[in-house]
Amino acid sequence: MSHATLRLRRSVLYVPATNARAMAKAWSLGADAIVFDLEDAVAPDAKAGARAALVAHLAEHRQPGIETVIRVNALDTGDIAQDIDTVARCRPDAFLLPKVNSADDLQGVARLAARAGVSDQTRLWAMVETAAGIAELDAIVRAGTALQPRLDCLVVGTNDIAKETGVFAGDGRACLMPWLMQIILVAKRRSVPVLDGVWNDFKNVQGFESEALQGTRMGFDGKTLIHPSQVEPANRHFSPSPEAVEDARRIVEIFSDPQHAGLNVVNLGGRMVERLHLEQAQRLLAIHERTVGAQVRP
């Protein structure tokens, strides 16, 4: 992804489409993106009402700079066609497909989107939350980035991964770590942003802080959230620190010096810095500029 098209997804908040008050409040919480949920957060007999409520809400409420996403139901449910029709009517920035098991799933939802008249500007997000999805992820991402709507983000569903496999999700996610790093590796290889899963115990603030810090160190681009109290710490952890920003500026400055124009490696205060570090510094500063812009959103 180029710096010009880079999007902030530090904090991505799930909001049930059945909760009018939560939907209205979500815009003021400082989240980079809101996922209006038609899937897990909505009971089967409430889905029709949730679709109608979401159409009405998004007809009246939009906030520049906040990415709008609709999570639809899985392809193998009887709700997917009506959900995709709702996406076409609402024209969100993206829609999120759960339970993606193969490239065929993305191709199937692309056909539904075309038939429903989903806008060409609407992007596709995919949840990685099944054993099959993890095993087939590289093929899924390769196919998705060639489709319309184009695959634009991966979202890890740690709860469902643990449920399906029986793997213990505690102890700092130690048993899940090999799969999580595999997902991140594929995402980085294919230049697709990837978001960490949710932290369920929202009253355990320290636990969330620890997992958010872990997520930044692992290479996630942001974190999905289930409670408004998690927005601020997610934004903080997934924003460049002042020290990192200052270091990036020094790297950009030293490589901009004409005497270093032909060099691939320079001495910066006693450490060797390569041009690959320049690229990393430029990206970090681009993220920083967007975080500053997000802080002054109207």
pLDDT for the residue numbered 120: 96
Task: Characterize the bridge pairing of strands 265-268 and 271-274.
Answer: antiparallel
Dihedral Cα 48, 197, 287, 70, nearest 10 deg: -10
Contacts of residue 127, Cβ cutoff 8 Å, sequence gap at least 6:
96, 97, 98, 99, 100, 133, 154, 155, 156, 157, 160
Angle of helix 103-116 versus helix 137-144 axis, rounded to 10: 30
Closest CA to 160 of 40, 12, 295, 16: 40
Look at residue 4 in the predicted model and tell me its pLDDT.
46
Q: Give dist(CA 273, CA 276) in Å, integer.
A: 8
Coil, helix or strand for 128? strand
Q: Is the pLDDT of residue 133 over 50?
A: yes
Q: Which has more confidence, 205 or 64?
A: 205
What are the residue boundaries of the structural domains of the chain, listed by start?
Answer: 3-237, 242-295
- pLDDT confidence of residue 1: 47
DSSP string of 83-126, one letter each residue: HHHHHHHH--SEEEE-S--SHHHHHHHHHHHHHHT--TT-EEEE
Instruction: Say whether pLDDT at 106 is over 90.
Output: yes
Q: Give first-to-last CA distance, the chain, whole Å.
A: 26
Whether residue 130 is predicted with pLDDT greater than 90 in this model: the reply is yes
Which pTM value belongs to this model?
0.90
How distant is the alpha carbon of residue 79 from its chain centre?
23
Nearest to 226 by CA among 293, 157, 130: 157
With 0-12 / 13-18 / 19 or more C-beta atoms within 10 angstroms meaning exposed / middle / buried, residue 296 is: exposed
- Quick: pLDDT tens for 32-77: 999 999 999 999 999 999 999 999 999 999 888 999 999 999 999 9
Beta-carbon count within 10 A of 76 CB: 10
Which listed CATH number (3.30.300.10, 3.30.465.10, 3.30.565.10, 3.20.20.60) goes with 3-237?
Answer: 3.20.20.60
Length of the chain: 298
pLDDT category at 223 given cuts 50, 70, 90 is very high
Q: What is the pLDDT of residue 5?
A: 59
Residue 13 has pLDDT above 90, yes or no: yes
Is 80 exceeded by the pLDDT of residue 295? no
